[in-house]
A and B are shown apart, each in its own frame.
Chain A
Amino acid sequence: MNLFNIFSEIEKSDAEATERFQFSRRKLLKTSAIAAVATPALFAATVNKAFADSATVVEVLNFALTLEYLEAEFYEKGNMAPGLIPESDKMVFEKIGMHEKEHVDFLKTALGDQAVAKPAFDFTAGGAFPDPFMNYQVFLTLSQAFEDTGVRAYKGQAPRLKDDKPFLLAALKIHSVEARHAAEVRLIRGQRVWASEMETGGVPAAVYAGENNIYQKEGIDLISLTYKDMYLSNGTNQQATEMIVREAFDEPLTKEQVLAIAGPFIKS
């Protein structure tokens, strides 16, 4: 795919498009070429209407960028803190930190000069987590909290990007990477892999608010529908079936819920 051609097409169909896009063409080519080339059909097919609701898109992407700033700086500090992360776990956190930095760069590029500036963070959350970069268990707890919050935050915002398919796809792709991070961090901590309101693992309860939900669609009672199969398969009782039904779905958080969780970590 030739990105130059696509951008000429945009300019032809809408003289202001390039400006509204707020992409630096050079930056886009540098950092987005791989993703764009991987999905040329999608990119080409939707490019004409990509900015129909740009105010919403900018708002959602800036919200995501704020969370990515927080995660990226958290891992940057953690990975640099001497003696914090044991040798056995270093690869995981270096890779996670790299992904978060890539998410920051991707979103900043997408937003151009509409990108919000990086806030100043306080990873102690006003002293609630006194020594996140000296105490590995505290670092791990916060890591799980940020990753699980990230998963739920993207999930909550994805439907708002529905009219902008390239960014919806990008958001979904970041979303599942955050879920991979959350799962591996949980395994390192010896936690179960599923977000649960009942087992918060020392993470602030607000991160898992609403995860107890067992109804995904009116009229569909998943406990009744699955109980027999569960029982036949491993003798699971109804209570255990309810837990399985809860944990088979990750629930979204609203932007307000996410900001309430992230707020104490943001100084300005």
Chain B
Amino acid sequence: MEKINSLTEKKAGPTVPAIPSVERRMFLRNMGLFSASTLALLTACSRDEIVAPTGTIRSGARDASVLADGTVDLGSGDIGIANLAYTLDQLEVAFYTMAVEKAMGVSAEDKRVLQELHDHEIVHKEFFKAFLGSAAIPMLDFDFSAVNFNERNAVFDAAQKFEDVGVGAFNGTGPLIDNDDVLKIAGKMVSIEARHATLARHMIQPKSYFALGHELIDANGLDWALTPEEVVAKAQPFIKQKISVANLPKM
């Protein structure tokens, strides 16, 4: 599976530039409106329509935006951090959706586990979508061609890697969070990601050091933590749009 982590992006970029919603993209596809200027205009319009999100996470933070070259910028402050989590939740939902549909050689129990992981990630994803409102990134497009869905263990191995990136992301961004509500929500989700990672690992090698994630835990018994840049480096090979965390808070 190391090959997955070290994989570089196969495709140069999205064939359709990223824009703020699936509906809008479908509309554009139907209309054949692919010109960059039209997209830029639509994106600009969407910036004017922004209403305050339900959260209290603005405090000067910048919303997500789609740059001229199609790069998805996650925004700044707590908005950026929440969008990073939302990015991973979108990725996980897309992955588990594909796994439930395509994975070969899986038992009924395997499928039930994948479905359960899928369902939780839907909840996390929908939470961030509602929480961020107009500050959210658009729906992203994914490429899981590096995952061998014909091999059951490869599917669970990819699952545990995605879940552990989630654990590392929440741990690493926790101290960067400004708003108490965002910190609390992150805390409520990160332990679920850790439970997911353990379950996915258990499906490969139950009752083992591996199941406990031992290689990620240091000599003080502390779990790993990732910076936003490290998170994106691990997730980017599976995301068609380029993700930028340039405006996220720094340690």
Contact = CB atoms under 8 A, between A and B. Distances in A.
Interface stretch (A5-13, A18-26, A73-81, A186-194): A186-194
B181 interface: yes
- Interface magnitude class on chain A: 35 or more
A249 B124 CA distance: 9
Interface string B229-251: 00000000000000000000011
Interface stretch (A121-129, A215-223, A254-262): A215-223
Interface string A183-209: 110011000011000000000000000
B219 A176 contact: no
A182 B195 contact: yes
Contacts of A179: 190-192, 194-195, 198
A158 B194 contact: no
A216 B197 contact: no
A233 B180 contact: no
A107 to B, nearest CB: 9
Contacts of B218: 34-35, 38
Interface on chain A toward B: helix, strand, loop, or mixed SS?
helix
Contact of A174 (B188, B199, B209, B221): B221
Contacts of A244: 116, 119-120, 122-123
Nearest to A246: B123
Contacts of B55: 217
Interface stretch (A51-59, A96-104, A111-119, A138-146): A96-104
**Which of B123, B189, B220 has the most C-beta atoms of chain A within 10 angstroms of its own C-beta?**
B220
Contact of A193 (B181, B185, B199): B199
A176 B194 CA distance: 6
Contact of A234 (B115, B212, B250): B115
B23 to A, nearest CB: 15
Nearest to A109: B220
Contacts of B206: 187
Query: Which residue of B191, B223, B225, B250 has the most chain A CB atoms within 10 A of its CB atom?
Result: B191
A125 to B, nearest CB: 25
Interface string A64-105: 000000000000000000000000110110011011111101
A183 B194 contact: yes
B226 to A, nearest CB: 11
A176 B171 contact: yes
A173 B171 contact: yes
A247 B116 CA distance: 10
Q: Say which size band chain B's interface belongs to.
A: 35 or more
A103 B218 CA distance: 11
Contact of B189 (A173, A180, A249): A249
B8 interface: no
B123 A217 contact: no
A8 to B, nearest CB: 21
B221 A248 contact: no
Contacts of B54: 217-220
A184 B211 contact: yes
A42 B217 CA distance: 18
Contact of B217 (A45, A99, A184, A219): A99
A38 B225 CA distance: 9
Contacts of A162: 180, 183
| A-B residue pairs, 6 tightest by C-beta | A102-B221, A183-B198, A179-B194, A179-B191, A173-B222, A248-B123
Interface of B: 54-55, 97, 100, 115-116, 118-120, 122-124, 126-127, 129-131, 167, 170-172, 174-175, 180-181, 183-185, 187-199, 202, 206-209, 211-214, 217-225, 250-251
Given A162-B180, A187-B211, 5 more contacts: A101-B221, A162-B183, A172-B223, A175-B223, A229-B126
7 contacts: A151-B191, A159-B184, A169-B172, A184-B198, A184-B207, A193-B196, A226-B119
